[in-house]
Amino acid sequence: MSTRRSTSSGQNAPSDGQGLERQLRLARARNHTLQLRLRAVADNLGHGLSLYDRHGHLVVCNQQFLDIYRLPPELGKAGTSFRRILEARVRNNTHVGTDGPGYVEGRVAAVREHRPMGGIHRLNSGQVISMTHQPMADGGWVSTHRDVTELFNMQAELTHLAYHDPLTGLPNRTLFYQRIAHAFDSLGETGGFAVLCLDLDGFKPINDLHGHATGDALLRQFASRLTRALGAGDTAARMGGDEFAILHGGDEESALDLAHRLAEICQQPFDFDGEVVSIAVGIGIAHAPVDGADTDALLHSADLALYSAKRGGRGGIRAYAPDLDSEAADRRRLEAELRRAIENGEFELYYQPILDLRGGSFAGFEALIRWEHPERGRVSPAEFIPVAEESGLIVMIGEWALREAFAEAARWPAELRVAVNVSTIQLRRGNLVATVMNALAQSGLAPCRAEIEITESVFLEQSEQSLEALRQLRALGVRIALDDFGTGFSALSYLLAFPFDKLKIDGSFVRALETSDGAATIVSAVADIGSRLGMSTTAEGIETPEQLRAVHAAGYAEAQGYLISRPLTRKSIRAMLHAHYDTMPEAPVSEREAS
Ligand code: C2E
Ligand code: MG
Ligand code: MG
C-alpha cells in the first residue's frame, strides 16, 4: 500500500527534463485514453451528443450525432467549429423553418451569449429531434440530440384520436364543441354562423338487416359525401351513432341552401358491392347568436329543429324558431302526465263497430284508446300517441290496450272480432308476440278473433325483425290488418312483402269521394287490389249514406264510420250486444259499476 503511494507521488513530481517528457507522453496517452473512453460512452448513450469548448470548437461528438444530421466523419473530429457543423447540418438536413440566411448567425450568437437553445426540431427528412443544450462552467456546452420521431407521431396520433371519430375520421363532439366555441369568439368579425344537426333516417334497420359492416361503410360514405359538400371554413363532425353536425360560416339563406344540397346528396343510393341502400337525412338548423348565445344553447336549438324536422317525416329540413321551445315544453309535460296516467289508470278503450257489408251485421269492433285527463278532459290519441311513441311509453300503454281489449272481446259473442291498433314502436321495442300471446291466454280469446292493425311505417323501418314478429302472430292465427292505407308511401310492394289479412283504406279517400274523381278511382282500385291479393278490405270514415253506397258498390267487405256508429264505451257495446244477442252474458255487478 505505502509503496504504491510513493510511486504515484513520484509521477506527480517531475524532477528532471526526461521525467517531464515522459510525463507529457503519459498525459497525452491518458488524454487519448480519456478521449476514447468519452467517445465510447458517447457512442453508447443511445442519442446524439456533442461537446464544445468555450471557443465553440468541438471536443467530442458521437456517431449518432453525425448520423442524425448526416455529417461526414471529418466534421466529427475534435476542433471542428460549431459554425462549420451548423452550416453542414443546415445544408444536409435543412431543419424545417431554418431556410433564412440568419439562422446560422443567430445560433452562433446564441451559444456565444449562453442563451438556452433546446427544443424540438423537425428535419426535412420527417425526423423529429429533441435537443437539449447545457452550458458548462468552463464556457463550453454540451448538447444532446434525441430522435423522438416515433414518440412524436404517437403523440400526434393520440391527439388526433382524442379529437376525431375513428370510424369516419371526422372531428368528434369534443373538437366540434371547440370549433363552435371558437366561432363564438370570432362573432365580432363574422357577425354570425350556423349549426346544422343531421340525423339519418332508417339507419338502424340497415344495420340490423345488412349487418354492421355495411352500416359502418354507409357511415363512412355518408361522411365523405358530407365533407365534399362543405365549404372551406365549414366543419363536419360525427356526434355519435348516426348523428352528424356541421358548423357553417354563413347566414340563414346559405345554411338553408347547404341543408337542401346535403339532403339531395344523401338521396343518391349508397352502393356496397351491389347492395344498394338508400337513406334520408333529417336536418335541423340554428343560427348564432340569435338562436343560442353559447354552444349548449345553440346546439339545443338545432336539436329541437331537427326533432321537429323528423316529426314531419323522412328527410325533413327545419330551421329553429322560438315556438319550438314551447312545443318541447308541452311535450315534456305531456310525457310526465302520460306516466302518471299509466299509474292512475286514466285510459279507457272505446269500441267502434265495423259493419260487414256482405252479411249486413257487425263483423266486430275496433278498440280506440281514450285518455280522460283529470284537468284537461279528454285528450285525443292523435295528440298523445306520438308522444307515447317517442318516449317509449307506448309499449306499456299498448300492452294494457291489448289485455283490456281481448278481455272485453272474450265476453262478446264468438263471431265478433276485436281489432287493436299497434304502434311500430311496440314491434321494435316491445316483445309484441309474447305480449299478444299472454293477453290471449289471460282472456281466453280465440286467436282468430283478434286483429292487429299496423300502419305502413312498419315498412319504412325496413326491419326484418318487425316483419318476422308479424309473421309469428299470423302463424298463431291472429289477423293482421294494414291501417290507413294510402296515407303513407303506399308502395304496392309492401302488399307483396307481407300477406295482410285486411287492407283498411284511409278515411281521407272516402271523404274525398264526392269531390274528387281521383279519390273514387283510388277507392275502387284498393278494393280490386285487395280482392286480387286475397285480402279483405275495409273502408274507414264513412259519414254519409252516399259514401256507404259507393264503397259497397266498389266491393269493400266492411265499412266503419260515424254513419254506422261512433266509437262507444264498453258499457254501451255490452248493452247493445245484450239487446241483439240473447246469449250475451251479463256483466258481473262489480264490473257494471266500474264501467
Ligand atoms: P285509426 O286506427 O285509423 O282509427 C280511426 C280513427 O278515425 C279514430 O280516431 C276514429 O274515432 C276516427 N273515425 C272513425 N269513424 C270516423 C268518421 O266517420 N269520421 C271521422 N272524421 N273520423 C272517424 P281516434 O280514435 O281519434 O284515433 C286516432 C288514431 O289514434 C287511430 O287511427 C290510431 O292510429 C291511433 N290509436 C287509437 N287507439 C290506439 C291504440 O290503442 N294504440 C295505438 N298504437 N294507436 C291508437
Ligand atoms: Mg286503426
Ligand atoms: Mg285508420
pTM over 0.75: no
CA 34 to ligand 1 centroid distance, Å: 100
CA 484 to ligand 3 centroid distance, Å: 4
Cβ of 288 below 6 Å from ligand 1: no
Q: What is the pLDDT of residue 590?
A: 42
CA 363 to ligand 3 centroid distance, Å: 16
Query: Residues 347, 371: contact at Cβ < 8 Å?
Result: yes
Residue carrying the nine cell digits 433546446: 118
Cβ of 547 below 6 Å from ligand 1: no
Pairwise pLDDT comparison (589 vs 78), residue with the higher score:
78
From 368, 435, 508, mutation site for ligand 1 pocket: most ligand atoms within 8 A of C-beta: 368
Question: Which residues fall within 8 angstroms of residue 12, CB to CB, at 6 or more apart?
Answer: none
Sign of CA dihedral 200, 202, 204, 207: negative
Residue 309, pLDDT above cutoff 50: yes
Q: What is the pLDDT of residue 5?
A: 44
Residues 443-483 pLDDT 10s: 999 999 999 999 887 777 657 788 889 999 999 999 999 99
Cα 39 from Cα 287, distance rounded (Å): 66
Query: Residues 218, 270: contact at Cβ < 8 Å?
Result: yes
Cβ of 488 below 6 Å from ligand 1: no
- Return the ligand 1 atom nearest residue 369 CA: 38
User: Closest residue (by CA) to atom 21 of ligand 1?
Assistant: 541
Cβ of 421 below 6 Å from ligand 1: yes
Among candidate residues 563, 568, 453, the one with its CA nearest the CA of residue 504: 453
- Return the ligand 1 atom nearest residue 349 CA: 41
Question: Which residues fall within 8 angstroms of residue 284, CB to CB, at 6 or more apart?
Answer: 196, 197, 302, 303, 304, 305, 306, 307, 308, 309, 318, 319, 320
Q: At what angle do helices 82-93 and 102-112 cross, to 10 degrees?
A: 140
Per-chain mean pLDDT for the chain: 88
Cβ of 218 below 6 Å from ligand 1: no
CA 368 to ligand 2 centroid distance, Å: 8
Cα 234 from Cα 582, distance rounded (Å): 75
Q: What is the pLDDT of residue 154?
A: 87
Rg (CA), the chain: 41
Q: What is the pLDDT of residue 13?
A: 47
Read off the DSSP letter of residue 81. B
User: Closest residue (by CA) to atom 19 of ligand 1?
Assistant: 541
Cβ of 551 below 6 Å from ligand 1: no
Residues 334-391 pLDDT 10s: 999 999 999 999 999 999 999 999 988 999 999 999 999 999 899 999 999 999 998 9
Give the cell for residue 540.
274507414
Residues 113-130 pLDDT 10s: 877 777 888 888 888 899
CA 487 to ligand 2 centroid distance, Å: 13
User: Closest residue (by CA) to atom 20 of ligand 1?
Assistant: 541
Ligand approaching nearest to the C-alpha of 562: 1
Cβ of 380 below 6 Å from ligand 1: yes
CA 111 to ligand 3 centroid distance, Å: 88
Give the cell for residue 218.
354507409
Query: Residues 453, 421: contact at Cβ < 8 Å?
Result: yes
Residues 171-215 pLDDT 10s: 999 999 999 999 999 999 988 999 999 999 878 777 877 788 888
Which percentage of the chain shows pLDDT scores above 70? 92
Cα 434 from Cα 119, distance rounded (Å): 69
Cβ of 408 below 6 Å from ligand 1: no
Cα 23 from Cα 352, distance rounded (Å): 123
Q: Give the confidence band of 490 by pLDDT, cuts at 50, 70, 90.
A: low
Cβ of 352 below 6 Å from ligand 1: yes
Cβ of 430 below 6 Å from ligand 1: no
Among candidate residues 493, 511, 495, 513, the one with its CA nearest the CA of residue 503: 495
